[in-house]
Amino acid sequence: MSDDDDILLDVAHLKVYFRLPRKNIFAKASRVHAVDDVSFQIKRGTTLGIVGESGSGKTTTAMAVMRLTPITSGAMRLGDTDLAALEGEDLRHARTRMQIIFQDPYSSLNPRVRAGAIVREPMDLMNIGDPADREGRVADLFRKVGLRPEQQALFPHQFSGGQRQRIGVARALATQPELVVCDEPVSALDVAIQAQILNLLRSLQDEFGLTYLFISHDLGVVQYMCDEIAVMYLGQIVEYADRISLFTEPLHPYTWALLSAVPSADPATRARADRIRLQGDPPSPIDLPPGCRFSSRCPFAEARCVQETPPLRSIRPGHAVACHLVSDDGVPPQRRS
Amino acid sequence: MTDSDNTQSRQIDEMPETPVEHPFRQFVTMYMRNYAAVAGLLVFVVIVAAALLAPVILNVDPFEMVDVPLLPPGESGHLFGTDNLGRDMLVSIIYGARVTMAVGGAAAAITLIIGLSIGAMAGYYRGWVDEVLMRITEFFQVLPPLLLAMVLVALFSPTLETVAIAIGVVSWTGVARLARAEFMRLRELDFVKAARSIGGRDRRIIWLVILPNALPPLIVNAALTVGIAILFEAALSFLGLSDPNVMSWGKLIGDNRDYLLDAPWTVTIPGVAIFLTVLAMSLIGDGLNDAFNPKLRER
Amino acid sequence: MAERLLSVEGLRVEFKTRDGIAKVIDNLSISLDTGETLGIVGESGCGKSMTALSIMGLVPIPPGRIAGGRILLDGEDLLQANEQRMREVRGNEISMIFQEPMTSLNPVYSIGNQIAETARLHEGLSRADAMARALEMLQAVGIPAAEKRIHEYPHQMSGGMRQRVMIAMALACKPRVLIADEPTTALDVTVQAQIFDLLNDLKEKTGTAIIMITHDMGAIAEMAQRVVVMYAGRIIEQAGVTQILTDPRHPYTQGLIRCVPHLTRNPTVERPPLLEIPGVVPALSQLGSGCAFAPRCPYADAKCRAEMPPSRAVDSGHDVACWLTEREAAA
C-alpha cells in the first residue's frame, strides 16, 4: 500500500473465537472461528467493503473493530491509537472517533426516547461541544440527513424505516467521528428507499471526509459504495482488491461463484456461459478442518486444497487472493482449460 | 405479511410535527378499554382510600370492644356485625385494609427491588456473574416459601416490617428470572450496542437504557405480586405469626376461626375482602399487560 | 381466447383500519397459463403478498373483506367456493412457499412426516406410500442423502435446505399453481441461485405455473416471463419481462429498476448518484382520487393528482396506467 500516513484503520491478524457450551462435561469445548486471522487497512476518506454470506464473519469483524465484541487476539490501530489495547475510560473516549450504523432501523433506536434526544445523547455522554450549542447541532444534523428539525419531538415508531435509518446516521455523526462502520445499512430497507440512504452516505462522506468500513452481502451495493473490497468466507479474507479489479478480474473461485450467483436484470450477463453454480450451503464455522475452507464447495478443489491452508498472497499491487490454484501471474482456475 | 407495514409508512409531508398522542395517554386509553381492569382499579382505589382515610372517617380504636360478641351483620348499627371479642367488624376491616395494603405493597416493592437487581445483573453481565446469581436464586426457589417466611418471622420480632421483609425474601425469585430473561433479550438489541458505542457506561445502560424497556412485564408482575403478598400476610396472620398489636384481615380470620359455624360472617367478611383485593390486583395486572402490549393497541 | 389456468378479474380487497377503509387491492386482474412464471413486483405494502393470500383464500376476515371480483381456477370461481373446497384447493391445486423457512416448518415433526402429512391429507395415501412420496420429493428438490435426512427435524437443517423442504412440501401434491412469496429473501446469494435453478427445473418437468412475488428486479429477470408491477394495491404496469426491463414506461417501474445499484462486470471509475424515488409508500387509507404515485413522481401534474389514470396498452401485451403515456399517445 502507498503512503502510510493516510491509513486511518489498520487491522492486523484479528481473531475472534467464540467458545460454545460443552455438550457434556467430558466433551471437548467447541470453538467458533468467527474471524480467523483477518488483516486490512483503510485509507482516510475511502470506503472498504467487506462482503460475504452468512457465517462469513463480516459482521463480527465490524463489531470487533467497534470493540463491541471481545477480541481473541490481533492488533487494531485507529490513527495513532492502539484500539485493541484500550480498556475502560480510555476506550470510552476513543469511541468518539468511531461510530456505527446498524442494519435494522427498528431495533437500533430506543423506542422510549425521542428522535432529538437520540441524536443529542452521544454529545452529552462524550461531552462534545458547548452544551448550549448542542440543540443547534442536533437541528443541523437533522437537516444534514434529510429530516426536518421539527421532527425531533417524535418517537422512533412514528417514522418510516428509511427515516429511522436517517436518525441512525445522524446519531453516528453526532460525535464527529473519523471512522463510520456501516453494518448492512440498507438491507432491511425497501428497494426504493435503499438508494436514498446510499446516496446520503456518499454525500456525507464527501462533505465530512468520512472513512467507511462497509459491511454488506449485496454485491451491487458494495460495487456502488466501496473503493476497496475484501471478500470473506468462513472467517477469512479470500480475496482483497480495489473495486475495478475485483469485479473485472475476480481471481478466487468463490468470488467468481458469488458474482455469477447474483441475479441480473441484464440479459447479456445472464447469458454468460462462464457462470458457475455452487452446491450446498456454506458449512458451519465450528471446529474447522485444516486446508482451504472453501474446498468443500469449490468445483476446482485438488488434494492440496484439503491439506494446506492457502495464504493470502499478492498477485498484483492492490490485488491479493488466498487460493492455491491461482497462478502467480494471476490466472484463476476458472479461466484455465 | 408485508401489508401490515403500511400503517407504519406515512408520506413525509403528512408526518405529524409533534406527537399526536403522548405515549402515556395512549397507554391510558388502552387500559380503559379493558372494563374488567377498570373495575379492578376502582376496587383497588376504594380499598386504598379507605385504608388511607381510616383514622379520619372513623376516629375509633379497632381493638375497642363496643358491643356484645358475635352480633350478626346489621344488628345494633354494626353493618358487618361484631367479632368474638365484641369489636366492630366494619372498623376492623377498614383498619385491616391499612395493614394489608401496606404489607402487600412493601413486600411487592422488596420483591421487585431484590428480583430486579439480581435479574438485571445476571442478564446483563452473564458469564460467572449469571452462574453465581442463578445458583442463589435456585437455592431460594427450592425452599418452601411459607415455611421460610414463618421461620424468618419467628426468628425476629413479629412486627409489620419483619413480615413484609420475610414475604419479600421468599418471593423475589420469579421476578429475578423474568428480569434476567428480559435483560438477556434486550442487551442483544442494536440500540443497546449503540448506547455502548456512543460511550454509555454499564450503569447507565442497565438502568436508563434497558430497564425502561424491560419494565412492562415487570410492572404487570409487580401488580400480581401485591396480590400474592396479601395472601401471604393473611396466611402468616392466620397462623398468629404477625404483629398482635395491629388489626389485619388475616388476623381477623385467625382470631375467629373457632366460631366459623356459629358466626360465619366473622370469617367470611375478611375472606371476601382478601378475595376482592387479590382479584382486583390480578385484573389490574391483566389491564396493564394489555396496555403495554403495542400489538393490541393497533386494534 | 383459450381458457386460462388461473385468472383473477377485478379483485378488490379492503381492510378496516383505525384510519378508515384501506383498499389493499383495487381492481386487480392477472392471468396465468400452465408452465408460465408470472412475477409480481413492488415495495412492501403494495399489496403483492395480499394478492397471494387472496388466491389462497387466506385473507384474514375480519379485518379484511373481499369487496369484489372473481378468482377463476380452470373456470371455477374460488371466491364462491366453500371452506371445504378451499381446503382441497390449497396444497393440492395451488400451494405456496413463504419467505421465512424457519417459522413455516413445524419444529416438533420430522421433515419427512410433514411432507407425508400433506400427501396423506390431500390424496389419501397410506402411511408407507406417503413416506415414499416424501422421499421422492426430497430427492426431486436436490436434498443430498435424502433417505437419511427425511428423519431430520427443521432445526437440524440450514436455511437453504429448509427452503428446499418447503418447496418439496408445496410440490408434494403436484399442484398446478405454485405461489412463491419472496422465497429467497432470507437466503444467501449462492443458495438463492440454487433455489432459482430448482424452481425453473421443476417448472420444466411438471408444468406447474409459478407466481413469483419479489421486490428484486434481478430475481424477476431470472425467473419470470411476464411481470406485474404493483403500487398501492393497483397494477401500474404489466408486460413481458424483456419489455419491462428494457422499456419500462411507468415512472415508478423506471425508478424501481434504476434506484438499485446493479452489479456489473465492467464497473467504471465514475459512480453517478443513484436515482432516488423520494418519500415512501402512502398509507392505503389516505389515498386521494388521483394517481397513488403522483406525490413521489417527478413528472406529476395537476391531472395526475386529480384523476386516477386508466390502464391502456402501449404495445402488444404491455399495459401501463399513467397519464404520461396518454399524453405521449396524444402528441
Query: What DSSP letter does each residue of A181-222 carry, written as one string?
Result: EEESTTTTS-HHHHHHHHHHHHHHHHHHT-EEEEEES-HHHH
Residue B223 identity (one-letter amino acid): A
Which of A63, A160, A171 lies at the smallest CB-CB distance from B9? A160
What is the edge-to-edge ordering of all strands in the sheet holding A211-216? A98-101, A179-183, A211-216, A47-51, A228-233, A236-242, A319-321, A313-316
Rounded Cα distance, C295 and C304, in Å: 9
Closest alpha carbon to C189 in A252, A298, A255, A184: A255
Q: Chain B partners of A150 at a C-beta cutoff of 8 Å?
A: 17-18
Q: What is the mean pLDDT of chain C?
A: 85
**Count helices and strands in chain A by DSSP H and E runs:** 11, 12
Distance from CA of A132 to the nearest CA of C (A): 33
Share of chain C above pLDDT 90, in %: 9
Which of B5, B12, B13 lies at the smallest CB-CB distance from C45? B5
Interval B283-299 mean pLDDT: 71
**pLDDT value of residue A270:** 67
Q: Which three cell numbers stand for residue B236?
A: 402468616
| CB contact B7 to A (< 8 Å) | no
Kindly tell me the sign of the dihedral angle through the C-alpha atoms of B143, B145, B146, B151: positive
3-state secondary structure chain C: CCCCCEEEEEEEEEEEECCEEEEEEEEEEEEECCCCEEEEECCCCCCHHHHHHHHHCCCCCCCEEEEEEEEEECCEECCCCCHHHHHHHECCCEEEECCCCCCCCCCCCCHHHHHHHHHHHHHCCCHHHHHHHHHHHHHHCCCCCHHHHCCCCHHHCCHHHHHHHHHHHHHCCCCCEEEEECCCCCCCHHHHHHHHHHHHHHHHHHCCEEEEEECCHHHHHHHCCEEEEEECCEEEEEEEHHHHHHCCCCHHHHHHHHCCCCCCCCCCCCCCCCCCCCCCCCCHHHCCCCCCCHHHCCCCCHHHHHCCCCCEEEECCEEECCHHHHHHHHC
**pLDDT value of residue B2:** 37
Determine whether the interchain pair C216/A263 forms a contact, defined as Cβ–Cβ distance below 8 Å.
yes
Window from A277-286, B176-185, B222-231, C45-54 with minimum mean pLDDT: A277-286
Q: Does domain B23-298 have CATH number 1.10.3720.10?
A: yes
Rounded Cα distance, A289 and C175, in Å: 43
| CB contact A57 to C (< 8 Å) | no
Q: What confidence category does residue B242 fall into, taking pLDDT thresholds of 50, 70 and 90? A: confident
**pLDDT value of residue C107:** 81
Q: What are the tens digits of pLDDT across the range B124-147?
A: 998 889 999 999 999 998 988 888
CB-based contacts of B199-205 (< 8 A; 24+ apart in sequence): B199/A92, B199/A93, B199/A95, B199/A96, B199/A122, B199/A125, B199/A126, B199/A175, B200/A125, B201/A92, B202/B124, B204/A125, B205/B124
| CB contact A109 to B (< 8 Å) | yes
| CB contact A99 to B (< 8 Å) | yes
**pLDDT value of residue A141:** 93
**pLDDT value of residue C137:** 84
CB count in 10 Å sphere of residue B102:
17
**pLDDT value of residue A233:** 93
Rounded Cα distance, A124 and A117, in Å: 10
Distance from CA of C194 to the nearest CA of A (A): 7
pTM metric for this prediction: 0.83
Q: Is this complex's ipTM strictly greater than 0.95? A: no
Distance from CA of A128 to the nearest CA of C (A): 32
Q: Taking chain A (337 residues) in consecutive chunks of 10 residues, what is each chunk's mean pLDDT?
A: 71 89 68 89 94 89 93 91 88 92 91 91 88 90 90 87 92 94 90 90 94 93 94 93 91 91 75 71 74 88 89 91 88 78
Determine whether the interchain pair B18/A153 forms a contact, defined as Cβ–Cβ distance below 8 Å.
yes
**pLDDT value of residue B86:** 80
Q: What are the tens digits of pLDDT across the range C97-134?
A: 887 766 778 888 888 888 888 888 877 888 888 888 88
**pLDDT value of residue B1:** 35
Which of C47, C278, C286 lies at the smallest CB-CB distance from B3? C47
**pLDDT value of residue C18:** 72
- Eight-state DSSP code of residue B158: -
Q: Where are the alpha helices (DSSP H) in chain B?
A: 23-32, 35-57, 89-125, 127-142, 145-155, 160-171, 173-187, 190-197, 202-204, 211-238, 249-256, 265-292, 294-297
Interval B21-29 mean pLDDT: 75
Rounded Cα distance, B96 and B253, in Å: 11
Q: What are the tens digits of pLDDT across the range B41-53?
A: 999 999 888 888 8
**pLDDT value of residue A271:** 66
Determine whether the interchain pair A160/C271 forms a contact, defined as Cβ–Cβ distance below 8 Å.
no
Q: Chain C partners of A280 at a C-beta cutoff of 8 Å?
A: 144, 160
pLDDT at B198 over 90: no
Which of C50, C282, C295 lies at the smallest CB-CB distance from B3? C50
Let me know if C174 is exposed, middle or buried by CB neighbors in 10 A (0-12, 13-18, 19+): middle
Over the Cα atoms of chain B, what is R_g?
Answer: 23
**pLDDT value of residue B299:** 40
Kindly tell me the sign of the dihedral angle through the C-alpha atoms of B225, B231, B232, B234: positive
- Eight-state DSSP code of residue B65: B
Q: Are A126 and A96 in contact (CB under 8 A)?
A: yes
Q: What is the mean pLDDT of chain B?
A: 82
Q: Which residue of A has its CA nearest to B213?
A: A112
Q: Chain C partners of B11 at a C-beta cutoff of 8 Å?
A: 279-280, 282-283, 286, 295
Q: What confidence category does residue B4 fall into, taking pLDDT thresholds of 50, 70 and 90? A: very low
Q: What are the tens digits of pLDDT across the range C196-249?
A: 888 888 888 888 899 999 988 888 888 899 999 999 888 999 999 988 988 898
Q: Chain B partners of A86 at a C-beta cutoff of 8 Å?
A: none
Kindly tell me the sign of the dihedral angle through the C-alpha atoms of A82, A83, A87, A92: positive
Which of C44, C282, C286 lies at the smallest CB-CB distance from B5? C44
Rounded Cα distance, B112 and A163, in Å: 38
| CB contact C294 to B (< 8 Å) | no
Interval C143-169 mean pLDDT: 83
